[in-house]
Amino acid sequence: MKLQAFLPLITYPDAISDSVAGNATALAAFLGADLHVSAFNVDIPNVSNALSRMLMKLPDLIRQTEAQGRARGEHLLAIAKAEAAERAVHVTTSTSTAGPPFLGEAAAAEARYFDLAILGWEAGNEASRSAAEAIAFGSGRPTVMLPASTAAGPVEHVAIAWDGSRVAARAVADAAPFLQRAGRTTVFTVVDEKPLDDVSIADRLAASLGKRGIAAEAMSIRAEDCPIGLSLQEHALEHGADLLVMGAYGHSAVRDFILGGATEYVFDDLKLPVLCSH
């Protein structure tokens, strides 16, 4: 069964940079996956007649904003097609619209029809942050976030953030396509961040992966005074990891997300590709 990957491109309020298309198709090529790319453009409701009279140019500004989003979406889809052709990745495309508050939810709903979602992440781009939250917590699918500033390539070394929790176990299971292709896997357990029921949990996971033919080593690390999300990413980079796998901690209530410490820092400041599952 061929893996089916999904790349949502939200064009409002700020579209992601062009590099996300190349990064996503490179990852799809590594996984041997098909890729569906969907542009999500904004549909801004018409203003009332009274407000229109007060702000005569507002309807024109709304239509201009929508047109700019559509043009940007078409541009990104064209780049995705070209990048996919270059890498021999089978790609399909579509376009959808939603109201300003619901673009992330629309992308999350579509992501449920695929095996994993691939997202571009860019510092200072609120659309990429909100889309990552909506899809990671609302799609029921693993979400791979790719920094726009870093060129994605083959995933040779996977780092796993492991605390023995349900969400961490879910993330490891969802990362199977990467673990099966990587030449090296390192299981990180942070020993000074919270009490652990079993100090050998990293060794136990490494042994469990070994039984499945995945060579893995266990490593205990310390966060010390560093935010846990930053510490995990820095240790992963220090040891040469191409991908960090972690559970996404948090819950949502009417689109307001309350994130766990590690999750929030990763969503705020992504330093390497991260696969997260909730």
Contact assessment for residue 94 and residue 73, using Cβ atoms and an 8 Å cutoff: no
β-pairing, 216-221 vs 243-247, is unpaired
Residues with Cβ within 8 Å of 274's Cβ and at least 6 positions away in sequence, in order, are 144, 145, 233, 243, 244, 245, 246, 266
CATH architecture of 157-277: 3-Layer(aba) Sandwich (3.40)
Residues 202 and 254: their CA atoms lie apart, in Å, by 36
Domain ranges of the chain: 4-147, 157-277
Residues with Cβ within 8 Å of 195's Cβ and at least 6 positions away in sequence, in order, are none
Q: Can you give the pLDDT of all 278 residues of the chain as single tens digits?
A: 899 999 999 998 888 889 999 999 999 999 999 999 999 998 888 766 555 555 667 777 888 888 888 999 999 999 999 999 999 999 999 999 999 889 999 999 999 999 999 999 888 888 888 888 899 889 999 999 999 888 888 999 999 999 888 999 999 999 999 999 999 999 998 876 655 565 688 999 999 999 999 999 999 887 766 777 788 889 999 999 999 999 886 655 434 444 455 667 677 788 999 999 98
Report the number of secondary-structure helices (H) and strands (E) in the chain: 10, 12
CATH of 4-147 among 3.30.70.20, 3.40.50.620, 3.20.20.140, 3.40.1160.10: 3.40.50.620
Contact assessment for residue 167 and residue 198, using Cβ atoms and an 8 Å cutoff: no
Q: Is the fold of 4-147 the same as that of 157-277?
A: yes
> Which residues pair with residue 35 across a beta bridge?
5, 91
Residues 204 and 125: their CA atoms lie apart, in Å, by 39
